[in-house]
Amino acid sequence: MSTEAVKPPPGRETPPPKPRRFYKKVGVAEEGAMWCVALDTKPVRTPMRNLLGSPSRPLVEALAKEWDAQESVIDRDTMPITRLVSTAIDRIAPDRKAVVESLMSYVDADLLCYRAIYPAALKTRQIEAWQPILDWMQESFGAEFTVVEGVMPAQQSQGAADALRTAIEALGDEHLTAFQACAAVTKSLALSMALAHGRLSPADVSAYAHLDETFQAEQWGDDREAQVRRRAIEAEIHAVGQYLELLA
C-alpha cells in the first residue's frame, strides 16, 4: 500500500491553518501623522508588510477591537474593518487606475438598470426603490443610465460611462475601497456610489440589492442557503457602512 498522502479533489484543498494569537495586549499607538494598531507595543503590518494604520483614530480603535476580539487563533474572516483598511493601503492606493478600470467593466451590468417584465407588483417595487437612485446619479454626477426590461444586455452611453468614471475617480482611496467592496457584493455601481456618498444607509443598500430575491421569497418561500448568502452580503455591506462612518 502506498504511503503517499491522499490529495483532496481539485477545488477542495484544505485551507492553511489560521495563525495562533501570539500577543497579549492590543493598543493604539501614534506613528508620525498616523495611528496604528500595536500588539504588545509592536505595530501591525498589512499582508504586503505596510503599516496598518490611518489618520483617523476612531478607525484604528475599531481595528484594535477586532484584533483584541481574536481568541486562540486569528481569523481574518471576522475582521472586516481590518480587511478594508488593508485593501486601501495595499491595493487601492498603489494602483488606483487598475481598480477604476476593473470597476468600469461593469458599467453595462448595473442591477438597477434591469427591470422585470412581470409581475406588475415587482415592476412597481423596482421603480419605487431603484429609480430615485438613478435619478440622483444623473442629478449629482451627470450619469444618465439606460433602463431596460428583461435580461438582455444594454450598453450604456459613452456620456454616462464618462460621467461615472469621473465620479469614481473623484473618490479618495478610502472611499474607493468602500465603493469597490460594496460593488463586489451588490453588483451595482449606482448603489455603491449612493453608499459611499451617504445617500443610502447600509440597510437600504442591502434591501435594494436583494429586492428581487425578497419578492420571490414572499411569493414562493425561501430556502436556508439563500438566507445564509443574504446574511453574509448584509454583513459585508454593514461593515462597509461602519468603515465609512469611522472615516467621517
pTM value is: 0.89
Range(s) for CATH 3.30.2180.10 in the chain? 17-78
pLDDT for residue 46 is more than 70 = yes
The CA distance from 114 to 190, in Å, is 13
- Asked whether 35 and 28 are in contact (CB, 8 A), the reply is yes
CA atoms 128, 133, 137, 139: torsion sign: positive
pLDDT digits (tens, 9 = 90+) for 16-37: 888 899 999 999 999 888 999 9
End-to-end CA distance of the chain: 63
DSSP type of residue 154: -
Provide, rounded to the nearest whole percent, the portion of the chain with pLDDT above 90: 84
Q: Are 246 and 59 spatial neighbours (Cβ–Cβ below 8 Å)? A: yes
Under 8 Å CB-to-CB from 124, ≥6 apart: which residues? none
pLDDT tens digits for range 88-137? 999 999 999 999 999 999 999 999 999 999 899 999 999 999 999 999 99
CATH 1.10.3580.10 for the 95-247 domain, yes or no: yes
**pLDDT at residue 3, as a whole number:** 41
Q: What is the pLDDT of residue 178?
A: 98
> Sorting pLDDT into bands at 50, 70 and 90, what band is 156?
very high
By DSSP bridging, strand 34-39 and strand 42-43 are antiparallel
Domain with CATH 1.10.3580.10 in the chain: 95-247
Which of the following CATH numbers is that of domain 17-78: 3.40.50.300, 3.30.70.100, 3.30.2180.10, 3.40.50.1980? 3.30.2180.10
Nearest in space to 32 (alpha carbons), one of 46, 24, 43: 43
Is residue 248 scored above 90 in pLDDT?
no
Q: What is the pLDDT of residues 188-206, one digit of tens each?
A: 999 999 999 999 999 999 9
Is 80 exceeded by the pLDDT of residue 7? no
For residue 169, is pLDDT > 80?
Answer: yes
Q: Confidence band (pLDDT; 50, 70, 90) for 13?
A: low
Closest CA to 182 of 163, 158, 208, 160: 208
